Amino acid sequence: MTARRCKCHGQPMYPNKHSNGGWRCRVKVRVRQNARHHEHDWLVRRKRDLAAQRANILSRIAELEQEAVTSC
């Protein structure tokens, strides 16, 4: 199998596993993978932020419940 070069970047191409005889631009594949990693990082960070917010709110509710109990 000879490595072809893409028209857009002149880089050697990957054979496309999903279409027989197809080729994929290595540069485009890498860009898409990077985008996916960034998206993943963002989701992980967002989840962590939300978990922290949730913990804050829950402890605030617990405090308010305590206040309500002691003020009666």
Q: Which residues in 1-72 belong to E strands, given as ranges?
A: 14-15, 23-24
Give 30's contacts (C-beta < 8 A, 6+ positions apart).
none
Interacting stretch for Zn ion, rule CB under 5 A, among 17-25, 31-39, 41-49, 57-65? Answer: 17-25
- Name the residue nearer to Zn ion (CB basis): 32 or 46: 32
Among the listed ranges 4-12, 36-44, 46-54, 59-67, the one in contact with Zn ion (CB under 5 A) is 4-12
How far is the C-alpha of 72 from the C-alpha of 58, rounded, in Å? 22
Could you list the residues that contact Zn ion (CB under 5 A)?
Answer: 6, 8-9, 25, 27
